[in-house]
Amino acid sequence: CLFMLADILFQIIIECPRFDLIHGRTGYRWFNIIVIIEQLLQMISQHAQPDARSVSNFRIVVSQASFLRLIRAMIVLPEIAAKMKLGVQELRLMIRSLMGSFQPMLWCTTPLLFILANFGVFITEGVLVFLLKHDSSKHDALIDSFGTLDTAMLSLYKAILGGMDWGDLYDVMMPLGWLLRYTFLFFICFNFIAMLNIVAAVFIRNAFVRSENDRQ
């Protein structure tokens, strides 16, 4: 922990006055900082609660976060092997691309949540109106899939990412009017043809840029 902290401080001193706490020279300095924080919390929990490993929620959570060290080892070892010219450039490139995918994933998740929320609200409101006009006891599957906003968003999420077949959801929506059913079909079409392909293009471009930077 102290060695990692000293290493990061030394790199920052070298880069002053322009240093980057997020990316740094390796591109994943932020992850090293998270690992250092986890190790510091581990040390604090061991000294503050030495006999409470199995009963202290704080120590349990901190111990579970120790998997971050294994991830860091998986990242660092290919870097060292590449510098020693051991023929692991492809592995190094894949790991660097994976580490660089967190920020694009965050930005891609934002419009996805926006789309899920909008379609979820529209379908949920339509389902509630339908249930008020009909006997809700005969439409349990409809309630389970679209009875609330969170269940509707989850159902739509599973429909586009393989958690369940979207055809099964469409069968559940058969008692509803044509507008809600066609809206659901448009949602599926839009996400499969446009949204998911755009997201894939973003990740491919990110991996390509990192590959070019790695060659340079």
pLDDT tens column, 16-56: 666 665 655 666 666 777 777 777 777 777 776 666 555 66
C-beta separation of 172 from 142 below 8 A: yes
For residues 70 and 98, give the distance between their C-alpha atoms in angstroms, rounded to a whole number.
15
Question: Which pLDDT score is estimated for 187?
Answer: 93
- What confidence score (pLDDT) does residue 137 get? 77
Identity of residue 43:
M
- The Cα 173–Cα 54 span in angstroms is 48
CB atoms within 10 A of CB 139: 19
In the predicted structure, residue 1 carries a pLDDT above the cut 60: no
Residues 105, 90 contacting (CB under 8 angstroms) = no
Query: Which pLDDT belongs to residue 77?
Result: 63
pLDDT band at 158 (very low <50, low <70, confident <90, very high): very high
Nearest CA among 161, 145, 159 for reference residue 109: 161
Instruction: Tell me the pLDDT of the chain averaged across its residues.
Output: 77
Q: Predicted confidence band at 164 (pLDDT cuts at 50, 70, 90)?
A: confident
Please tell me the distance from the alpha carbon of residue 85 to that of residue 82, in angstroms, as a whole number.
Answer: 5
What confidence category does residue 134 fall into, taking pLDDT thresholds of 50, 70 and 90?
A: confident
Dihedral in degrees, nearest 10, Cα atoms 168, 169, 170, 174:
100
The packing angle between helices 89-99 and 67-83, to 10°, is 140
The dihedral over CA atoms of 132, 138, 140, 146, expressed in degrees to the nearest 10, equals -40
Residue count of the chain: 216
User: pLDDT at position 104, please?
Assistant: 81
Closest CA to 78 of 99, 102, 101: 99
Higher pLDDT, 203 or 60: 203
pLDDT at 125 over 60: yes
Residue 20 vs residue 152, higher pLDDT: 152
Using omega within 30 degrees of 0 as the cis cutoff, is the peptide bond preceding 111 cis? no
Higher per-residue pLDDT: 214 or 32: 32
Which H or E run includes 12? helix 2-15
> Which tokens hold the place of 134?
């009909």
Using DSSP's 3-state secondary structure scheme, residue 111 falls into helix
- Counting residues of the chain whose pLDDT is more than 90, the rounded percentage is 17
pLDDT in tens, 46-85: 776 666 555 667 667 777 677 777 777 666 666 666 666 6
- 24-28, 102-106, 151-155: the lowest-pLDDT one: 24-28
How would residue 140 be classed by pLDDT, with cut points 50, 70 and 90? confident
Which is it for the CA torsion 163, 168, 174, 179, positive or negative?
A: positive
Mean pLDDT of the region 124-138: 86
Q: In angstroms, rounded to a whole number, what is the distance separating the alpha carbons of residues 159 and 141?
A: 15
Q: What residue type is 208 in one-letter code? A: F
- 129 pLDDT more than 80: yes
